[in-house]
Amino acid sequence: MSDDYPKRGAKPKTLFERFSALFDSEPETQEQLLDILHGARERDLIDDDAFSMIEGALQVASLKARDLMVPRSQMDVVDIAQTPDEFIPFVMSTNHSRFPVVEGGRDHVIGMLLAKDLLHFYTEKDFDVRDNLRPAVFIPESKPLNILLREFRESRNHMAVVVDEYGGVSGLITIEDVLEQIVGDIEDEHDYDEDEDNIIADRGGRFRVRALTEIDQFNEFFKVELSDEDADTIGGLVTSSLSRMPRRGDKIMLESFEFEVLRADARQVHVLMVRLLTQEELELLKEKIGQDEAE
C-alpha cells in the first residue's frame, strides 16, 4: 500500500509531514530549497499564494533596507519652518498617515508627524508642531529586513528613516514595504500612482522602472525602440526573454540595457532596476556572444 494512503486506523499525515517528504536530501543552498518549492507548486502540493509567501519570507532574510526604501527624492516631508496652514493642504493631498519632519534640509529629520495629531491644530489655540512630533527611528542602509521587521513589531513603530554611512538621509522604509515582500502587493501610499512615476531616476545613472510600464512609454523616455511584438509592458518583455517567471536578483541584457529584478512574486514581476550599458560593456557583450556562437 502506498505511503500516501495510510492504513486503516493510522493517524493521517499532517501537511508538514507530507511537505517534509519532498526533501529526499537536505537542501544545502537557498536556490536548491526554492527549486524544491517550485516542484511542490507544480505538483499542486502548495498553491501559488503559499509559494509566493514562502519565497517572500526567504527573500526578506537576504534583503537590506536599501533594497526596499523609498528613495530620498520621493520622500514626502513636512518642513518645520512652515505653519500648519501652509503644509496641511500638502498633507491632505498625499493621504499619508505619517510624515518625516525636517529642519533646514532632508538630512536633518527631527521627528515624525502623524496626520491624526494635526486634529489638535483645530482644537488648541497654542498648537505647536514640535510638541506633537513622535521620535524618528534611524536605521543604516545595510539593516537586514528580517531584523527590521522584528523591531517594527516589538516597538510598534511603522516607519524608519534610512541613513547612509555618512549620516545623510538615503530614504524611508515602512513596515508595509517589508510585509509586501511576504504577502504581495498591498495598497501603498508610496506606490507608483501616475504614469510619470513609472520611471524614476536612481543613484549611479540607474532607473527604477515599474514592471507595468508600457514599452511605448519606456521607448519614449529612453529614446530607444524595444520591440513590443511579444509583450506590451517592460515586465512582460523581461518575462518573455527569460522564458520563465522572473525572480528577485535575476539580471538580463536587452539591447543596450541591463534589467535587474528588484521585486517579484510567484505571479509577476513588480519593479525593475534598469541601467544603460556603457559602450565598453556592449563591445564585451558582443564579443562574448560571438565566441559562444563560434563554439
* Domain edges within the chain: 15-63, 66-182, 192-281
The three-class DSSP label of residue 219 is helix
Task: List the grid coordinates of 242.
Answer: 527569460
Per-residue pLDDT tens for 76-130?
899 999 988 888 888 887 778 889 999 988 889 999 999 888 888 888 888 888 9
pLDDT at 292: 53
CA distance 238 to 245: 9
pLDDT of residue 200: 85
Predicted model pTM? 0.53
Query: Worst-scoring range by mean pLDDT, 3-7, 59-63, 254-258?
Result: 3-7
Q: Which long-range contacts (CB under 8 A, 24 or more apart) does 77-82 make?
A: 77/101, 77/102, 77/106, 77/109, 78/102, 78/113, 78/129, 79/103, 80/110, 80/129, 80/130
What CATH code would you report for 66-182? 3.10.580.10
Give the pLDDT of residue 25: 55
Average model confidence (pLDDT) across the chain: 79
Residue 49, phi then psi, degrees to nearest 5:
-65, -45
Is 3.30.465.10 the CATH classification of the domain at 192-281? yes
**What is residue 270's predicted lDDT score, i.e. its pLDDT?**
83
Q: Give residue 4's pLDDT band: very low, low, confident or very high (50, 70, 90).
A: very low
Residue 51, class by beta-carbon neighbours within 10 Å (0-12 exposed, 13-18 middle, 19+ buried)?
buried
Say what the pLDDT of residue 295 is: 55
